[in-house]
């Protein structure tokens, strides 16, 4: 199935994405990760987007769509999960066309609903593995072995430079402005499922699994 996660930064999309990827074999396409990889590799795109990401601005549709297209050309066989994409109506419509080209269509759009206070709290405790970018949250989602990444066993962590209250408020403003038409678009297609993302990780997972019927 093709699944789309909609939700603001810090709503827990990434944590649930890890579950779908590791336990259910989904190919995880996070445009935030794709953009950060470009940055880390020092590509032309990476240099272009660096400042905008740090300031919580949205990256142009053209750049984001080109990165997603490149990923889809690898033709993932199993389910695909889009995380943090689409963020604009233009991206949503372009995604439908890209999927049509490979004879696939979206099966479910999960809308992660959470209050702003909760988001600020979660972002405050968020940190990531330097090597594999796995996200954690202090104190809610710590590595199983203290100081060691669950995924790649690296022992080096950092906070994301765009995880500050100031940048989060900019990212939230973009999100609120752009999400309404996207929700409407998927609601009309009868694909939208709203999930209470303020619950525990396990409860959110259960609700998501019931939506996806997996």
Catalytic residues: 13, 87, 126, 160, 171
The nearest distance, CB 159 to ligand AMP, in angstroms, is 13
Closest CA to 32 of 205, 178, 171, 151: 171
Residue owning tokens 């999100």: 175
Shortest separation between residue 64's beta carbon and ligand AMP, angstroms:
4
What does the alpha-carbon distance between residue 196 and residue 171 come to, in Å, rounded to a whole number?
20
Is residue 209 within 8 A of residue 20, CB to CB? The reply is no
**18 part of the interface to ligand AMP, by CB under 6 A:** no
Q: Which of 24, 39, 46, 52 binds ligand AMP (CB under 6 A)?
A: 52
By the rule CB under 6 A, 4 interacts with ligand AMP? no
| Contact range with ligand AMP by CB under 6 A, out of 51-59, 146-154, 183-191, 195-203 | 51-59
Whether the bond between 3 and the residue before it is cis, its omega within 30 degrees of 0, is: no
Pattern 148-167, ligand AMP, x by CB under 6 A: --------------x-----
For residues 168-187, which are near ligand AMP according to CB under 6 A?
171
Containing H/E element for 28?
A: strand 27-30
Q: Could you tell me the smallest distance in angstroms from the CB atom of residue 61 to ligand AMP?
A: 7
Binding residues for ligand AMP, rule CB under 6 A, total: 17
Residue 31 C-beta-side C-alpha neighbours within 13 Å: 28
The least CB distance from residue 146 to ligand AMP, in Å, is 25
DSSP β-ladder status, 106-113 and 126-129:
unpaired
Query: Using the rule CB under 6 A, is 109 a contact of ligand AMP?
Result: no
Among 18, 46, 48, 58, binds ligand AMP (CB under 6 A): 58
Reading the block at residue 187, the tokens are 């609601």
Give dist(CA 53, CA 59) in Å, integer: 7
């Amino acid at each position: 199935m093709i699944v789309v996660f909609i939700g603001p930064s810090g709503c827990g999309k990434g944590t649930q994405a890890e579950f779908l990827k590791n336990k259910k074999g989904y190919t995880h396409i996070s445009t935030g990760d794709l953009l950060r990889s470009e940055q880390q590799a020092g590509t032309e795109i990476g240099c272009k987007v660096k400042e905008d990401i740090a300031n919580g601005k949205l990256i142009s549709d053209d750049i984001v769509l080109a990165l997603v297209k490149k990923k889809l050309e690898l033709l993932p066989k199993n389910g695909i999960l889009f995380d943090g994409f689409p963020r604009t109506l233009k991206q949503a419509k372009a995604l439908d066309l890209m999927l049509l080209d490979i004879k696939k269509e979206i099966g479910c759009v999960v809308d992660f609903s959470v209050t702003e206070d909760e988001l600020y709290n979660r972002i405050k405790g968020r940190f990531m593995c330097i090597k594999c970018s796995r996200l954690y949250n202090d104190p809610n989602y710590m590595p199983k072995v203290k100081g060691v990444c669950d995924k790649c066993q690296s022992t080096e962590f950092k906070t994301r430079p765009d995880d500050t209250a100031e940048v989060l408020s900019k990212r939230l403003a973009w999100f609120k402005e752009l999400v309404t038409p996207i929700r409407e678009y998927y609601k009309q297609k009868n694909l939208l499922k709203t999930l209470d993302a303020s619950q525990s990780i396990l409860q959110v997972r259960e609700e998501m699994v019931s939506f996806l019927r997996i």
